[in-house]
Structure 1
Amino acid sequence: MSLREQLNEDLKSAMRAKDQARLSVIRSIKAGILAQETRSERTTLDDEGILQVIVKEIKERKDANSEFEKAGRQDLVEKNLKEIEILSSYLPEPLSEDELAQLIDAAITACGATSPKDMGKVMAIVNPQIRGRADGRHVADLVKARLSR
C-alpha cells in the first residue's frame, strides 16, 4: 500500500473513531501534499515526495515548540508533541548510530573527502539515503566530526 493510500485509509479511520488529533494531522499532511503538487505544476507526489512533506511538517512543529516553550505555553507544546508522534508513525524506521556511521564513512570514501571543506560533497551523497530516517542537523554534526579528525 502506498503512503498516499495509507493516509486516506487512516483519514477514514480517524473520522470513524472521532479522533480529532489524528484527523487534524492527516488533513495537515494532505494539505501539504496538495500545496507541493500545486507548486510543482500539478505533478503527483510519489512516496518519497510525501515523506518530504511529512518531514517538513515535523520540522515546523519542532521549531514552533521551542517558541511555545519560551512563551510558557506548555499546553501547545504537549499538543505539538502528540502531533509529532502521529507524524513520525508515517516515517520509515530511523537509522541507528552505527548505520549512520557506516553511511557517512562510505560517503567519505566514495568522494575522497579529507577535510571539513569537503562536507558538502559528503552530505550530497548521504542526504538521499537518510531522508526521513535521520535528522539532517545531527548527520551534519557527525560528518563534521568525522572530517575534523
Structure 2
Amino acid sequence: MAIVELLNQDMKQAMKARDKEKLSVIRMVKASMQNEAIKLQKDALSEEEELTVLARELKQRKDSLHEFKEAGREDLVSNLETEIDIIQAYMPEQLSDDELEKIVVQTIEEVQAQSKKDMGKVMSALMPKVKGKAEGSRVNQLVQKNLS
C-alpha cells in the first residue's frame, strides 16, 4: 500500500479518535508530499519519492530536537519526540548495523573503491540501495571505516 493511502487511512482514524497531535502531523506530511508533487509537476509521487519526503521531514524534526535540547526547551522537546514517533511509523524498518555493514562492503567491492578518495563513488552507488532504511550519517561513518 502506498504511503499516501496509509496516511489517508490514519488521518480518518485520527479524526474519529479526536487525536489532534497525530492528525496535525499527518496533515503536515501530506502537505509536504503534495508540495513535492507540485514541484516535480506530477499528479502522484512514486514510493521512492514519498520515502524521500518522509526522510526529509524526519531529519528536520531530529535536527530541531537536537537544537531544542541544547537550548533547554523541554516544552518543545516532548512535542517533537511525539512527531518523530508518528513519522517513524511510516518509514521502512531500519537496517541493523550488521545488514548495513554487509551492503557497504558489497558496494565497495562493486565500485572497486580503494581509498577515501573513492568515497563519492561508493556513496552514490550505496544511497539508493539503503534509501529510507538507514540515515546518511550512519552510512557515511561505515563507508569511512571500511575505506580506511
Residues 1-47 of structure 1 deviation map (CA, whole Å, 9 limit, x = unaligned): 22111111001000000111110110011010011011112342012
* Count of aligned pairs: 148
Structure 1 spans left out of the alignment, 5+ residues? none
Amino acid paired to 1:140: N
CA distance in 2, matches of 1:106, 1:11: 40
Cα RMSD between the aligned structures?
Answer: 1.0
| Cα distance in 2, alignment partners of residues 63 and 42 from structure 1 | 29
Percent of pairs identical after alignment?
Answer: 43
Structure 2: gaps of 5 or more residues: none
1:61 equivalent in alignment to 2:65: no
**AA at the equivalent of 1:21:** E
Cα shift readout 1:89-135 (whole Å, capped 9, x = no counterpart) = 00111101111011001100000001001011111111011111111
User: Partner of 1:102 in structure 2?
Assistant: 102
Matched residue type, 2:39: R
Distance 2:93 2:65 in 1: 23
| AA matched with 2:8 | N
TM-score (normalised: structure 2): 0.96
Find the aligned partners of 2:72 and 2:94 in 1 and give their Cα distance.
31
What is the CA–CA distance in structure 2 between the aligned matches of 1:37 and 1:48, rounded to whole Å?
12
